[in-house]
Structure 1
Amino acid sequence: MLKVLLLSATLFALPLAMAEEPQAVHASAQAGMSININTASAEELAQQLKGVGLSKAKAIVAYREQHGPFTEVAELTEVKGIGQRTLELNEDTLQL
């Protein structure tokens, strides 16, 4: 009986032990990753910035196209839907 239990446990645990760890969903979750708010597409912004979905990301790109490149990161708060909290969440990710 003990042999059957050990064999069952081994057969059950083997696939779990052999499985690869899942990759990170957001590139910004990896240390040292940053995104240039003057060159990134709306899709890239939405994927890499916390609290920014595709709608807000499109607003960032539209603002950039209308007003020219951002001269400082804090200028993002001029975009509708982007506030100080969003900047704080992404301060280590944003670059010009």
Structure 2
Amino acid sequence: MSRVIPTILTLLMMLSPTALLAAENSETIRDNGEYAGIEIRVNINTATSEELAAMLVGVGQKKAEHIVAFRELNGEFKSADDLKLVKGIGQATVDKNRERIEL
């Protein structure tokens, strides 16, 4: 019994970094959906609401429709930060998608 506990502890310590890495990877996949691991670029001035919802992290169909409606009413976005003017889009969403956004 005295040998079993140190062996179990050693195994747990060896597996912990692997478990953490797996958890991080699964979070990445959840955030990026079907496009995980692919460099994604989306032009927020020309994309449809379906494209925006599929390619931007934290943007569902409703927010994507707000982006398109805002663009149609106010003209093209001049910067990624202009997305914050759209109802439901905040700084965190812009920051998560900054590298994906094209103008």
User: How many residues in Structure 1 have an aligned counterpart in Structure 2?
Assistant: 72
Partner of 2:93: 86
Give the TM-score normalised by structure 1.
0.69
Q: 2:51 aligned with 1:44, yes or no?
A: yes
CA distance in 1, matches of 2:48, 2:54: 10
* Structure with the greater alpha carbon radius of gyration: 1
Q: Distance in 1 between matches of 2:38 and 2:70?
A: 28
Tell me the amino acid that sits aligned with residue 64 of structure 2.
A
Task: Give the alignment of 1:1-80 within 5 angstroms.
Answer: 25-27=33-35, 29-80=36-87
Equivalent-residue separation in structure 1 for 2:102 and 2:77 (angstroms) = 10
Query: Structure 1 stretches of 5 or more lacking a match?
Result: 1-23
Which 4+ stretches in 1 moved above 3 angstroms? Answer: 24-27
TM-score, structure 2 normalization: 0.65
**Aligned partner of 2:34: which letter?**
H
